Structure 1
Amino acid sequence: MPLDPTRLSPHELLILQALARGQRPTVTSKHRTRYELLGLVRDGPAGLQLTAEGLRRTQEMAATVVELEKAPPVREQRPPARDAMGRRKRRRHTQPV
């Protein structure tokens, strides 16, 4: 199943939004290269700078994030049962979801 290369993860979107606000987030080299190849940022001596396309994408995606916040909450996992000494109880393996 091929992934859409232009789709941004929520983490990547938060980084771009921080750049749009003028903050200097920590960005890995992988993300820097990806953003540059997508034409969203320009990397120079002053650091990362959003391009016009990058600014448009952050504003466009902000509406999507608001819709995601209205989604039903994700079921939280309970911490594993522990005995008096703080060790996990036996035979209480959790199944991946």
Structure 2
Amino acid sequence: MPAQSIHVITLAEAETAHIEEVREILQEMAELHRQEEGCMRFDVYADAARPGRFNTIEVWENLAAHKRHLNSALVTRSVLMLIGKVRGLPDIRVLTPVSEMAD
């Protein structure tokens, strides 16, 4: 049986003065993270009801791929770019599918 994919949902809220800058950083992050080994999907969404609130939705081939991602220099760089531009710590949820649609 193949290793189970890992889905990650992250919620972050930009400081009001940095909304556009955070949007640009997240867009760049998505493009770069999509190139990582094991990344199946990395998308950024803006909350239609709350300006400055962003979600990333990621899918990784397996837990090992996600762990490699978390330990990468790219993640460190991304986090450092967001310090002082987002409110508090992002809410990160690592999920394993119970039931999902086939592609």
Which TM-score band (shorter chain)? under 0.3
Larger-Rg structure: 1
Structure with more contact order per residue of length (Cα contacts < 8 Å, sep ≥ 6): 2
Considering fraction of residues, name the structure with more strand: 2
Superposition TM-score, scaled by structure 1 size = 0.27
Superposition TM-score, scaled by structure 2 size = 0.25
